[in-house]
Amino acid sequence: MKIIIVNKNHAQARSITLGGWTRAFLSVCLLGIPTVVGAWGYSWLVSAEKGELFSADTKAWSEILSARESDVSGIEEERRTSEAKIEALTSKMAELQARLMRLDALGEKLTSAANLDEGEFDFNQVPAYGGPSQAAPDEAYEKPDFFAALDHFSDQLDSREQQLSTIDALLSSRDLKQQAFVAGAPVPNAWITSPFGYRTDPFTGKKAFHSGIDFTARSGSEVSSVAAGVVNWSGRHPEYGNMVEIRHTAGLVTRYAHNKTNLVKAGDVVKKGQVIALSGSTGRSTAPHVHFEVYQNGRVVDPSTYIRRTIR
C-alpha cells in the first residue's frame, strides 16, 4: 500500500509505502477505537450508579403522577360530598318552608278567630327588624355553622308551632263551648207574643199553663237552633204540629214547634245558628209563629233565662 504526500505548492511530492503489518495496525486503530468507546459508554450507562440515578428519576416521576391522581380523586370526593350537602340543605329548606306555610296558615286562622284588628298580625309579610348594630366588647365574631344555624331555626319553629297549636286548641275548645252553649232566640228580631207560664188559653178561654215562649214570625221564616246538638225528634205532633227537638249538653233539650216545614231529621248533628225549620201554623196554632221550649234534665224551664244568658 503506497501513500503519496504533496506539499502546499504542489511543487514536491513524497510517497510512503506501507507494509502489511502497518496496514493492519491502522485498520485496528480506525475500527477499534470507536468500538471501545462505544462499549465503554454503554457500560457507563448501565452501571449501578447510573441505574440508580435513572431509577430515582423514574420513582420521582411516579410519585408526582401518583400525587396528581390522588389530588384528582380528592377533588372528585369533595365534589360528591358537596353535592350531598347541597341536596341535604335543599331538603331541609323545603321542610322549613312547608312548616312556615303551616304556621302562617295557623296564625291567620288564630288571628281571625281571636278577632284581632286587621293588619295587626299580617302573616303574609316579612317581620320588620331594625336598630343599630352593637357588638359585645372583647368578643370576636364567629361565623356559625350553616347546618347548626338551620337546626337552631328548626328548634325555634318547633317551639312556635307548639305554642300556636296550644292556642288553636284553646280557641277550638272555646268555640266548641260557645257552640254547645244554649243561648239566644230561634228567630232574629222577633217579639214575644206569649211568655212562659200561666195564661188564658186562646182556644178555650180558660187559664192554662204555657210551657214555652211564642215568637212572631211570618210563614216561611227561618228557624235556627240556639245551640249545637243532635236532633232527637223531627216529625208531626197533634198539638205541636211539625216539631223539631234537639238534645244538647248538660241535659238540655230545646223544642221548635208549629213549623211549616222541618229541614232536619232525627239523628242529624246541627250547629249553633243552623236553620232547622221554616215557621208556620201547624198543629194547635192560631197564626204563623214559633213556639220555643227548653227542658233541663226532663223538666220544662222558662226559655227566657236562656234567651238572655251570655257565656262567661
The CATH number of the domain holding residue 226 is 2.70.70.10
Q: What is the mean pLDDT of the chain?
A: 76
| Span 296-304, average pLDDT | 93
- Residue 270: the pLDDT is 92
Query: Into how many domains does the chain fold?
Result: 3
Indicate if 198 and 165 belong to the same structural domain. no
Q: Is the pLDDT of residue 289 over 90?
A: yes
- Residue 187: the pLDDT is 93
Residue 144 lies in a domain: no
Distances (CA, A) of 89 to 92, 94, 143, 159, 262: 5, 9, 18, 21, 60
Residue 171 lies in a domain: yes
Indicate if 37 and 77 belong to the same structural domain. no
Residue 198 lies in a domain: yes
Residue 56 lies in a domain: no
Residue 88 lies in a domain: yes
| Span 69-85, average pLDDT | 75
Encode pLDDT of 111-164 as tens digits: 666 665 555 455 555 555 555 656 555 555 555 566 666 776 777 677 666 666
Residue 54 lies in a domain: no
Indicate if 292 and 202 belong to the same structural domain. yes
Residue 101 lies in a domain: yes
How far apart CA 51 and CA 168 sit, in angstroms, is 86
Indicate if 214 and 169 belong to the same structural domain. no
Indicate if 271 and 203 belong to the same structural domain. yes
**How many Cβ atoms are within 10 Å of 181's Cβ, its own excluded?**
21
Encode pLDDT of 212-249 as tens digits: 999 999 999 999 999 999 999 999 999 999 999 999 98
Cα atoms found within 13 Å of the Cα of residue 20, Cβ hemisphere only: 0
Contact (CB, 8 A) for 3 and 15: yes
Indicate if 172 and 210 belong to the same structural domain. no
Longest dimension (CA), the chain: 187
- Residue 79: the pLDDT is 77
Indicate if 303 and 202 belong to the same structural domain. yes
For residue 283, the enclosing domain spans 192-307
11: confidence class by pLDDT, cuts 50, 70, 90:
low
**What is the percentage of the chain residues whose pLDDT exceeds 70?**
56
Q: Is the pLDDT of residue 30 over 70?
A: no
Indicate if 38 and 79 belong to the same structural domain. no
How far apart CA 297 and CA 210 sit, in angstroms, is 19
| Nearest C-alpha neighbor of 99 from the set 147, 148, 146, 154 | 154
Cα atoms found within 13 Å of the Cα of residue 163, Cβ hemisphere only: 7
How far apart CA 237 and CA 252 sit, in angstroms, is 21
Indicate if 199 and 299 belong to the same structural domain. yes
Indicate if 240 and 288 belong to the same structural domain. yes
Residue 132 lies in a domain: no
- Residue 245: the pLDDT is 96
Indicate if 204 and 285 belong to the same structural domain. yes
Encode pLDDT of 51-63 as tens digits: 555 566 666 777 7
How far apart CA 245 and CA 158 sit, in angstroms, is 46
Q: Residue 171: in which H helix or E strand, if any? A: helix 146-180
| Nearest C-alpha neighbor of 267 from the set 243, 242, 231 | 231
- Residue 42: the pLDDT is 63
Tell me which range, 71-75, 84-88, 115-119, 297-301, is most confidently predicted by mean pLDDT.
Answer: 297-301
Indicate if 88 and 23 belong to the same structural domain. no
